[in-house]
Amino acid sequence: MSFDLAVIGAGPAGMAAAVEARALGLAVLVVDEQPAPGGQVFRSVEAAHGDAVLGAEYSAGLGLVESFRRSGATYRPGTTLWHLDPDSGEMSLTPGGPAVARRVLLATGAQERPVPILGWTLPGVMGMGAAQIMLKTAGAVPSGQVVLAGQGPLLWLLAAQLKRAGAAPALILETTPKGRLAAAFRAGGWFSGRGLLLKGLGLLRETRGLPVVRAVTGLRAEGEGRVQRVVWDGGSADCDTLLLHEGVVPATHIPLALGLEHAWDVRQQCWRPVVDVHGASSHDRVAVAGDGAGIGGWQAAVASGQLAALDAAHRLGRLTAEGLAQRAAPVRRMQAEALALRPFLDALYAPSAAVLAPPDDQVLVCRCEEVTAGQVRAAARLGAQGPNQAKTFLRSGMGACQGRMCGATVARIIAESRGVTPETVAPLRPRAPYKPLTVAQLAGL
């Protein structure tokens, strides 16, 4: 099957790109791992939009999903891209056969930043994003003593949602250090981003009265066979479910595997693909839009998806340069507005050094191969210069997740050990298959 534009991911960026590209007459393929469109932010919105607990902003995603459904794009849900040859545009997909596209837009979104603490592999410790997915896909809430630990807008959104559902967390452990608010105001953006800021203040108001410990450090999970206690410097509490969150980072697995040029994002402390204003990457067939190109939230993602679609149409001769400029202008204004609060949020919720590189040698950093921070430090002392050599020595990043959970942590620990800046250490280089698949699927049997 041959297409003008293939979009990988049916979240806000991917859906918006598909809608825009279809409107311009492009033949569009949308491939998504999930069974229904929406991405993680609007996960299951067609089924769950009536659940008031999730809030009005979530339900607003329904409109986007509906216009995507009507767009006429070829939609392959439940489908994994396991290899892309950027030079030819050939995509290996499973289940089902391959496809080829003249332009490929990666809209693979974000993942939660791993929070490697002692005990984070214990059953009952999860990401806050995971708890939200339980809410969206199953209407389910964690029961028993629920503790939220970490920081970021999602923490307060989840706390509010759980409270609305009658399952308010027993305790919130906020890791934001003292004095950050002043730094955030200095970073700017709060005035132009005041709409989002007000929404955040609303969440804070809604969650008032929940027990909160602030400026928490030294977080760890303890228990026999499952989490039973959460401990921090100066305190501890019983706990049945510990939900962690330290923000989200771009899902760079496929862009890195393709060898796209990446840049270190100092504000967000992560790698992101280098893209131009329309999302075009360093490879002339490939664009990246949405949180995958740098965290900006769903409204910015919609705008970047539209821009990438306009650019695709222009590159394929369906839109003149003037047409592109004209149509892109209002979208770029919308994007700027959506991104206005980012400097403020990034400064307020910057992850601590301990989250990026756990100081305790006993912490498991690679959950799959069960490699500790101490082992990574030993490899660095032996001369490992980055996560690729550490992978060779320790198997960190060789498990089923292919380094999605440990790659950044291993690189950071090595950077610290070597006494160099994080951008000096190149990220783990993933290879295909981007996700495991059976030998039979790979062989096309």
Footprint of other proteins on residues 82-141 (CB under 8 A)? 83, 85, 90, 92, 98, 111-112, 120-121, 123-127, 129-130, 133-134, 137-141
296: contact with other proteins by CB under 8 A: no
44: contact with other proteins by CB under 8 A: yes
**Interface positions, 300-359, toward other proteins (CB under 8 A):** none
The minimum distance between CB 140 and other proteins, in angstroms, equals: 5
Distance of alpha carbon 102 from alpha carbon 2, whole angstroms: 8
The minimum distance between CB 370 and other proteins, in angstroms, equals: 5
Mention every residue, 6+ apart, whose C-beta is less than 8 A from residue 378. none
Q: 62 vs 130, which CB is nearer to other proteins? A: 130
**Interface positions, 381-440, toward other proteins (CB under 8 A):** 382-389, 392-395, 398-402, 404-405, 425-426, 429, 431-433, 435-440
Residue count, binding to other proteins (CB under 8 A)? 84
Q: 272 vs 367, which CB is nearer to other proteins? A: 367
The minimum distance between CB 234 and other proteins, in angstroms, equals: 27
The minimum distance between CB 130 and other proteins, in angstroms, equals: 4
Alpha helices in 188-272 (DSSP H): 194-206, 253-257
In this structure, are residues 373 and 362 in contact, taking their beta carbons and an 8 Å threshold?
Answer: yes
For 78-119, the three-class secondary structure string (H helix, E strand, C coil) is CCEEEEEECCCCEEEEECCCCEEEEEEEECCCEEECCCCCCC
Binding part of the chain for other proteins, among 14-22, 28-36, 61-69, 271-279 by CB under 8 A, reads 28-36
62: contact with other proteins by CB under 8 A: no
Task: Output b/e per residue, 312-349; b: 16+ Cβ within 10 A.
Answer: bbbbbeebeeeebeebbeebbebbebbbbbbbbbbbbb
Three-state secondary structure call for residue 76:
strand
Q: 106 vs 425, which CB is nearer to other proteins? A: 425
**Interface positions, 220-239, toward other proteins (CB under 8 A):** 225-226
Sole binder of other proteins in the list 24, 171, 368, 373 (CB under 8 A): 368
**Interface positions, 158-217, toward other proteins (CB under 8 A):** 165, 167
Distance of alpha carbon 285 from alpha carbon 365, whole angstroms: 35
The minimum distance between CB 443 and other proteins, in angstroms, equals: 4
Residue type, 127: G
Distance of alpha carbon 130 from alpha carbon 47, whole angstroms: 18
The minimum distance between CB 214 and other proteins, in angstroms, equals: 26
Binding part of the chain for other proteins, among 142-150, 186-194, 200-208, 324-332 by CB under 8 A, reads 142-150
CA-derived radius of gyration, the chain: 22
Strand partners, 3: 101
Phi, psi (5° rounding) for residue 106?
-90, 115
